[in-house]
Structure 1
Amino acid sequence: MKLEMLDVSVFIAYVIGLLIIALWISKEEKQEGKNTEDYFLAGKALPWWAIGASLIASNISAEQIIGMSGSGYAIGLAIASYEWMAAITLIIVGKYLLPIFLKNKIFTMPQYLEQRFDTNVKTTLALFWLAVYIFVNLTAVLWLGGLAIETVAGVDWMFGMIFLAVFSIAYSLYGGLKAVAYTDILQVVLLVFGGLLLSYLALNAVSDGQGVIAGFSILTEQMPSHFDMILSADNEHYMSLPGISVLVGGLWVMNFSYWGFNQYIIQRALAAKNINEAQKGIAFAAFLKLLMPIIVVLPGIAAVVLYPQLTSPDLAYPSMMALMPVGLKGLVFAALVAAIVSSLASMTNSISTIFTMDIYAKIVPEKSQRHYVQIGRMSALIALAIALVVAQPLLGEFDQAFQYIQEFTGFFTPGIVVIFMLGMFWRNANSKGALAAAIGSAVFSLIFKILWPGLPFMDRVGLVFVLCLFSCVVVSLLTTEKQKNTCVNIQEVSFDTKTTFNISAVMIIVILIILYATWW
């Protein structure tokens, strides 16, 4: 599929407009320039709407849009559990985890681990996150983004990757998190509008112009199996979504790791004006997560009817874009690129934050704030350069890059969740127990993968989590360790939430119950 001149013009207008907005937001109001709080945490002044929009823009990228549409084509609505279960996870994070982080006034997740445990735990996890963000997340987003641009616009994937890297640098490197968060508002509006428009056109096409309701009815009648939320054991995709485990198993561990302890996600909430703004922003993001399956999964399901002979499920979303009229096609392409560059900008900003504040500042202390900001910018550039070089060698042989991400991070996710959960809510957890959970997570995962290859990935994550939990508890109880815990006592943290947050939580729970009861 090729873009017409009008589509290209719309896309160029979007790129220029975004750069102008980013530069205006990034202008320095202080003569001495930005300090670390300004650059890495947007001066701790983000309002709720910027937090919520930025959370979603950071989360939704090429692997979600193209990958989940492809899963919608192959599996159906069941893949939406990743989005809908994330909504309730966000509510739990906002009520019980975020108050602890904000009370401790941290910049990074490793910083909290240093306060709670010791430098060894902090450094171990900081190095792990840097490796994952550069060699897994950043490379995957660049690679899939380059392939998406090649599919839609006909531009070689390498040039597409270079464009994405340069574009994300152009609007985020100078302004830091503030530029990323506020431009994410435009990105999310474009993403939601373009996605809903594509879903409307898809359903209308399925019904031959009879409307979206008729189109949806046709889909449910012709493909009832594509609307099963809980897959049975005899389903060919059971290994990917193992039945009831989606509701009570390893998906919870993966969600808490991603939404609660993932630097490039939680950093937006850490930059809030106050706890109330942060919680309102998280509730806003939770509602947007409920909407995402309509935007990314539904077009994939519709593509089964409209394009039944696709050679690969991941071609579903690019193929559906052919339904868009000239001009609007450029807008939807801009929305796709918006999602990609927003994720890239978020990841590079978090890489620079962890490297600068948790590694470099400890090795080279007592430098000026301006110096650390410059180091942060340099580390972001280097990270993107590394990702550009290694993306094709690492991911070129994988049929599904999304699977590569899940497999690699899934080796460490259970241990990370155990370390944070016990560190926050069990006073007897110590650094030896934390390291036992971190090491055990990789060892147990590898053993299960080799000796029990038929175990679904999601179930493996759940079992490894239980083993890591046991390991951390046993090692902590068997070792006596004097350590200086500088964290705020949990009894000093208020978990009370405003009425608006409580109402939002109830609404989200009710909506989820209705959705699962309807499509069970």
Structure 2
Amino acid sequence: GLRTFHTITSAWAALDAPAGAAAPAPLDIAARGNGLAWTSADGGVHFAEVQGGKHLLGWLDWSVIVVYLIGMIGIGVYFYLKDQTASESEFFVGGRSIPFWAAGISLYATNTSSISFIAIPAKAYETNWQYLTNNLVAVLGLMFVAVWIVPLLRRLDLMSVFSYLETRFHPAIRMLASALAIAMQIGSRLSVILFLPALAIATITGIDVVWSILIMGVFTIIYTVMGGMRAVVWTDFVQVFVKMGGAIFAIGFIVWTLGADFDGIREAAMAEHKTKLLDFSFDLTKATVWGFIFLVVFDVVLTFPKDQVLMQRTLATKSDKEAGRSIWIFAAIMIPGGFIFYSIGTALWMYYKHNPGRLDPLLPIDATFPLFIAAELPPGVTGLIIAGIFAAAMSTLSSIINSVATLLSVDFYDKLAKNPSERGSVRFAEIMTVVVGLAGMGLALVLSRYDIHSLFDVSIELAGLLGGGFAGAYTLGMFTRRANSPGVAIGIAGSIALTLLAWSFKLVHPYFYLGISILLCIVIGYLASLCFPAPARSLKGLTIYRQDAT
């Protein structure tokens, strides 16, 4: 009989005999689409193709999903009824009264998007745990952020992180940086985070991509516009437990299902190095410790100050000390959270190694976890974990939508409107919350008509090409006294131009553009600053140096 061989699990699975299998013995066999074509001695031509299936959700699964969605709306309604005359401080930074532990959990929820919930288990299933090194190294980077960067920005009483660039340098630098950040968040992150989980769920369950996008988008917009930052943080808090609870259950279910065979399969996983973590080689083409150190320095430490989505949570805490503590909570959750998601991937490998016939060979790697959720878990639990995928998406979506609305209101409406009132600013932000959410949904629906992979790669490249310079501006502002407005402007322009040149010649992998751009901005900006007079304004509280803070 026909059998399939799976290259990741190295397991054979028998296929049902296709129609025509009783025909005379095949003479010539060739691959055709998702199957085979062969000729027989009687001159006949025969075809056989592997078919994939859908796993429709039952009423219990839908009930769990509906209860979750109603709960999210309930949180928004609660905060709306609690304070219907929200001030700017209430709407944008939760009245600066968010407990540090809730802010820290919200940081983790925002940072762990639906892409992570689906792609990380797939990565561990396909390879090993080497990418988990990023979490371990990132914790060291977050320690630096907690001690030096967050307290500095927190004591400036900001709502938009880009206000710092105006205070330290010039209003034009602030507005340009904010505009680029808004474009990047809507154009790449918001649309992709909506579309990818919708595609994965549709592939397995038959729920249309459009409906998944509409469910996630509409419900997120409703509770975000009603409750502002408070609703965003507290829904994040609930969503962490929904998605982590579902993830832990999935691991436990696999271990229980394998039963007496678990030890043997676990030894096979160890022999295949499925849990290999650290690679100290100097190969730039692999996921090595050195590569992750380089990426964390630029992706976490130097870009954190310009990330409104993450910084807004620390700005919403009660004090500088609590802002720093929220980062410590974020760091403390990151390592065990990473182990859970990578363990799912290894557990999936063990399960399909033992049950190769349960795997759909037509599905892409990223659909492996959604396939397991839909096909193997008991009714109700399937609904819970799909709610977890929704939760992973919605926690990031609400954070992005609220942050972009904040930037549009604080950096543009308050600056450009004539005599803006505080209530008018909040009303504008509420309108922008709806507009931004609808824009993200619209782009996600457009993506459903095109190839997502190329656009996802382009979004990574754009983040490095256009976003690195402003991270360099923060570095120059916080860590040097000599940097000045014209020098930083030259540094930003020079870094973007040279990084675009490197991109046009394809000199390095796209993941390195961000680091290169930041380095160029720092070097060019500092050298250019030496050609102009030192800043005459007071730098009190704007740098890490204590004498400037007194």
Q: Is the 8 A contact 2:472 2:518 kept in 1?
A: yes
Q: Which residue of 1 aligns with 2:159?
A: 107
Q: Is the 8 A contact 1:164 1:340 kept in 2?
A: yes
TM-score between the two structures when normalised by the length of structure 2: 0.82
Q: Which residue of 2 aligns with 1:377?
A: 430
Structure (1 or 2) with the greater strand fraction: 2
Q: 2:532 aligns with which of 479, 486, 491?
A: 479
Measure the CA separation in 2 of the matches of 1:42 and 1:285: 19
Q: Deviations over 1:71-120 (max 9, x none)?
A: 22333212223333322222211111011111111111111111111111
User: Which letter does structure 2 place at the counterpart of 1:81?
Assistant: T
Instruction: Compute the displacement of 1:225 (Å).
Output: 5.9
Q: Which residue of 1 aligns with 2:29?
A: none
Number of residues paired by the alignment? 485
Measure the CA separation in 2 of the matches of 1:143 and 1:361: 33
Q: Is the 8 A contact 2:281 2:288 kept in 1?
A: yes
After superposition, where does 1:72-471 map in structure 2 within 5 Å?
A: 72-205=124-257, 208-210=258-260, 216-221=266-271, 223-224=272-273, 227-230=276-279, 239=285, 241-305=286-350, 306=352, 307=359, 309=361, 311-321=363-373, 322-393=375-446, 396-399=450-453, 402-453=456-507, 455-471=508-524
Q: 1:483 to 1:65 in 2, by over 3 A?
A: farther
List gaps (5 residues or longer) in structure 2.
Answer: 1-54, 353-358
Q: Does 1:4 align with 2:58?
A: yes
User: Which letter does structure 2 place at the counterpart of 1:40?
Assistant: F
Q: Is the 8 A contact 2:483 2:535 kept in 1?
A: no
Instruction: Compute the displacement of 1:468 (Å).
Output: 2.2
Instruction: Compute the displacement of 1:473 (Å).
Output: 0.9
Q: Which residue of 1 aligns with 2:72?
A: 18
Instruction: Compute the displacement of 1:485 (Å).
Output: 5.1
Measure the CA separation in 2 of the matches of 1:210 and 1:375: 61
Q: Which residue of 1 aligns with 2:96?
A: 44
User: Which letter does structure 2 place at the counterpart of 1:156?
Assistant: D
Q: 2:117 aligns with which of 46, 65, 68?
A: 65
Measure the CA separation in 1 of the matches of 2:490 and 2:365: 40
Shifted more, 93-102 versus 195-204: the winner is 195-204
Q: Is the 8 A contact 1:299 1:320 kept in 2?
A: no
TM-score between the two structures when normalised by the length of structure 1: 0.86
Q: Deviations over 1:355-386 (max 9, x none)?
A: 10001110014322111111001112111222
Q: 1:389 to 1:22 in 2, by over 3 A?
A: closer
Percent of aligned pairs sharing the same letter: 24
Measure the CA separation in 1 of the matches of 2:189 and 2:79: 27
Higher RCO, Cα 8 Å, sep 6+: 1
Measure the CA separation in 1 of the matches of 2:345 and 2:99: 34
RMSD of aligned alpha carbons: 2.6
User: Which letter does structure 2 place at the counterpart of 1:11?
Assistant: I
Q: State the SS of the aligned residue for 1:76.
A: coil
Q: Deviations over 1:243-285 (max 9, x none)?
A: 3432432332012355443101110010001122222221111
State which structure, 1 or 2, has the greater radius of gyration over its C-alpha atoms.
2
Measure the CA separation in 2 of the matches of 1:166 and 1:91: 36
List gaps (5 residues or longer) in structure 1.
Answer: 496-520
Structure (1 or 2) with the greater helix fraction: 1
Stretches of 4+ aligned residues off by more than 6 angstroms: 211-214
Measure the CA separation in 2 of the matches of 1:419 and 1:212: 53
Measure the CA separation in 2 of the matches of 1:48 and 1:213: 41
User: Which letter does structure 1 place at the counterpart of 2:279?
Assistant: I
